[in-house]
Structure 1
């Protein structure tokens, strides 16, 4: 018998899932291919930026019109501005770019082989490519944004139009088009939003295939129940429940969407956290329950049972028999305090100091107590961070410094408790971004002793364990299983759905023994936790 597939089931699947929010789409009639440029989004929210290094959410998908299968998926450093199929060759030209917010317009001309998926960045210098158009088999017309707006107030409404000629575009190599070929006078150039057209086209193509298209992005949190149900929080949905049959049982929609899920101690409900801006009530006014960020939802029906409206955004901390809130920001003079939620309502807990979105995220699965990262200096809480545990009665206890290397600045990341120890992921920050080997998973006893560490080049998005194996998802699209005893690699694989790569943003080990994975493109995957015959090196 063939081995069981790693991804056993996909919940929330739909056509063109891989590209997220579409920016533009194009059909090539002769090849029966569809090209779509889109964005699955950032992996940062107000309560955490644990995997932003080396991340881009911009995507270019090449789909087969018959069946809508994703043939190739390309990550782009920049937003996709224009697409054009070559009239003869199996080649797609993609113009990408953006304004950097300072004074530069940066981007690339990508040449994508539609047969193999190979990608070439053809410009020698970074330039935003606003438009691409094939004038024939050898001539490519480009519209380029100005290099900068340093002395040009019209730069955001101008472009440089040029034609580049090559006898064989399939032979063009990396950086082969020099800046001298792109020189042209500036002229008016419109920046057209084609997202609406792309949405209409994808809807039409899906309907022609007897399917339905809609945007789903970023499954920020997943939970698995004993009865086999899967729970998820994602963009536009505070929480949703999927039955073991694969049918969606209920969903609580939300304008922005859920960012955290936390089973309540009563076993019949679930705490949810939806992202919001500052909810500043006017004089004599109070934020409405409908706008609350924190809500408890009944697991059977999805009905909202109660809401909590903190004075400022907060994150949920798992903590044994209590649910704890950590305030993120807002007007306050004294150090911020944790908020303990119980049957009588919110109660002030111990001081936790300031929260920094890069330094202090520390979501701990299977926690017997609430854990948080806290700084020792109220003026600079991101420095000299310690791991703090909060007992059921609210008593805080500092356990050990977060960084076991005094000369390294470690950002916080996902974690899990294993007996009298914590295993957690993060990255080393040195002002230049993450360096090779700068991301880690470490297991430490509660007195701070390092039992093992595992290093890699990309930061982790999620982590869970059964006490024997530590499962880690990375923003590169990799899933890695580490031996919980010594940190050795049990298996390593790239996450794919239908042959197309994707990235896990959330992960949990279900009671039934499989992995439940939430992806950046809005899908919930039921995956094998022990792929047969897999014990690959990292």
Structure 2
């Protein structure tokens, strides 16, 4: 059977792409393999948190030492702290874990089978593993963090327990069979691993001067001249030539999150959440909305709004800047409106407060400036789809409730696209225990009254949506791309994205032609794909 999607070009490819930013490295010279733990990053930024449910950002990759080709990738619930090849078996011990931010040090001990590419968690109960060392074929030394802060208080972050666990055959150790009673050990002072050391070690393995990991392509666009524009983690924006060469790149401490291509310039919404030290104080840099030349990436200026914002666009060129200040999410806030030929807001309209789970609503190819607005006292509840007319004098006009069912549920926002005069949008149903199976959705609604024409449900949240009057394409954080019949919502095809046989996760989409799709991935690559009808 012919695959519905063919990857023709991979932009931004590099060795060890599959694991993101390296956190731990082990070289098995006798086996000719390299195992690397890494972090692909969060799927949440200050303007959008709708794609992060059921997402595991930590990875372990197995690579050939000679060609650096990826042989296998597995996910991890916690950050990868340490790795150790078994002296005789085709097995790698993987120690993971982190502090939960409140009290506990959680993690697990994974055994990765190098022949099958599968991993199993063999420790009963969660415990952070700081170091691993094979003492012999049957004895594994571990340094474990304390279970919790408990009697150590702040000193718990510098303490560990030195333990040796013995098994006659580690390849046959069942899942969850290493009990906590075996993990007492001698208390030792311990410093946590420096992940920057792992970045340097991986860079040395590549032999490429200046190698740096790439992550999270948040937005991608094709320009009229055939170049591909993208913004990603630690890159404000970059452009790729039609022949696959990098044209220009503007580095940034955090990176761009949204792109708007205008006639003679590109607007980039940059993330500004990292706190950094200036003198004796810790400060957060001022929000940045940059204007760049599409020709070479040079700066054409920046908007100093004084608050973080998200872009909402209309296909005739109107642009709205909605504040996302989390400290004022209960307050009504002014939305700045920028005309098609303008470079600053010329009018403002007031909307209720914003939060990144409830109100994110980026709609592609929209003929209207659409937003989600909730109750003024509790803006995350009873949300409506509203429209702002930039030429009108009134405030936002209610179109229809976000939920099309009765009684109404608490829904989170998500990406969407306008097709055939209707709105197709994704979202999830809020539940206190997290995202339940079947509680992610894509729905087609009439823009006149909000009536649902069809609904498609899934177990994972959508990361991006695009399409035309024939087909709607939905990317999921599970790595799946689904093509839906735009008329009735039936599934045309489902496809788990892969590059060189290894899974990748789509984060951004643009349908550039009826049979051509650009996909920005979580691991920092851009896929130029053709679609088989």
Q: Which residue is 1:227 aligned to?
A: 225
Q: Return the match for 2:292 from 285, 293, 297.
A: 297
Aligned-residue offset at 1:2? 8.6
Whether 1:336 aligns to 2:338 is no
Per-residue deviation at 1:79? 0.6
Give the match for residue 21 of structure 1.
21
Distance 2:107 2:144 in 1: 9
Q: Find out whether 1:206 has 2:201 as its counterpart.
A: no
Q: Where does residue 282 of structure 2 map in the other structure?
A: none
Which residue does 1:270 correspond to in 2?
Answer: 266
> Which digits, 9 at most, give the CA deviation of each residue in 1:448-479, with x for residues without a partner?
11111111111011110122111111111111
Q: State the distance in 1 between where 2:78 and 2:287 align.
A: 34
Structure 1 CA distance for aligned equivalents of residues 87 and 528 of structure 2: 41
TM-score, scaled to structure 2: 0.92
| Deviation of 1:381 (Å) | 0.3
| Alignment partner, residue 428 of structure 2 | 427
- Match for residue 508 of structure 2? 506
Shift of 1:344: 6.9
Aligned counterparts, 1:124-143, within 5 A: 124-143=124-143
**C-alpha contact (below 8 Å) 1:206/1:212 kept by paired residues:** no
8 Å CA contact 2:217, 2:526 repeated in 1: yes
**Secondary structure class of the residue paired with 2:152:** coil
C-alpha separation in 2, matches of 1:16 and 1:431: 37
* SS of structure 2 residue aligned to 1:202: helix
Q: Distance in 2 between matches of 1:64 and 1:414?
A: 38
Q: CA separation in 2, counterparts of 1:31 and 1:331?
A: 53
Which residue is equivalent to 2:400?
400
Q: How does 1:159-238 map to 2 (within 5 A)?
A: 159-193=160-194, 195-207=195-207, 213-238=211-236
Is 1:149 paired with 2:161?
A: no
What is the CA–CA distance in structure 1 between the aligned matches of 2:382 and 2:4, rounded to whole Å? 47
Residue 280 of structure 2 corresponds to none
Residues in 2 aligned to 1:242 and 1:512: alpha-carbon distance in whole angstroms: 21
Superposed counterparts of 1:29-68, under 5 Å? 29-68=29-68
Structure 1 match to 2:279: none
- Runs of at least 5 residues in structure 1 that lack an aligned partner in the other structure: 280-289, 533-538
In the other structure, the counterpart of 1:283 is none
* 2:255 equivalent in structure 1: 257
Q: Choose the corresponding residue for 1:381, options 376, 379, 397.
A: 379
Deviates more, 1:76-85 or 1:325-334: 325-334
Distance 1:67 1:505 in 2: 28
For residue 357 of structure 2, what is the aligned residue in structure 1? 358
- Helix, strand or coil: the match of 2:136? coil
2:286–2:306 CA contact under 8 A, matched in 1: no
Per-residue deviation, 1:419: 2.4
**SS in structure 1 at match of 2:42:** coil
Counterpart position of 2:499: 497
Q: More deviation in 162-171 or 328-337?
A: 328-337
**What's the CA shift for 1:390?**
1.9
Which of the residues 485, 500, 521 maps onto 2:523? 521
State the distance in 2 between where 1:141 and 1:514 align.
52
Quote the Cα distance in structure 2 between the aligned partners of 1:187 and 1:81.
Answer: 17
- For 1:214 and 1:278, locate their aligned partners in 2 and report how far apart those are by CA, in whole Å: 19
The alpha-carbon distance between structure 1 residues 513 and 297, as it changes in their structure 2 partners (threshold 3 A), is farther
Q: Please say if residues 14 and 212 of structure 1, whose CA atoms lie closer than 8 Å, have aligned partners that are also in contact.
A: no
Matches of 1:129 and 1:201 in 2, distance apart? 21
- 1:278 Cα shift? 9.8
TM-score (normalised: structure 1): 0.91
Return the match for 1:484 from 471, 483, 486. Answer: 486
2:308 equivalent to 1:325: no
1-side partners of 2:112 and 2:274: how far apart?
43
- CA offsets per residue over residues 398-451 of structure 1, 9 Å max, x none? 111111233421100110011221111111111110001111111111111111
Q: 2:309 aligns with which of 301, 307, 314?
A: 314
Structure 1 position 304, deviation (Å): 2.3
Structure 2 Cα separation of the partners of residues 486 and 45 of structure 1:
33
The match for 1:286 is: none
Per the alignment, do residues 434 and 87 of structure 1 end up closer, same or farther by CA in structure 2, a change over 3 Å counting? Answer: same
**8 Å CA contact retained: 1:228, 1:243:** yes
Choose 155-164 or 407-416, whichever is displaced more.
Answer: 155-164
Unaligned segments of structure 2, at least 5 residues: 276-284
Deviations 1:195-249 (CA, angstroms, capped at 9, x unpaired): 2332222222211xx7873211111110122332111001121111111111111
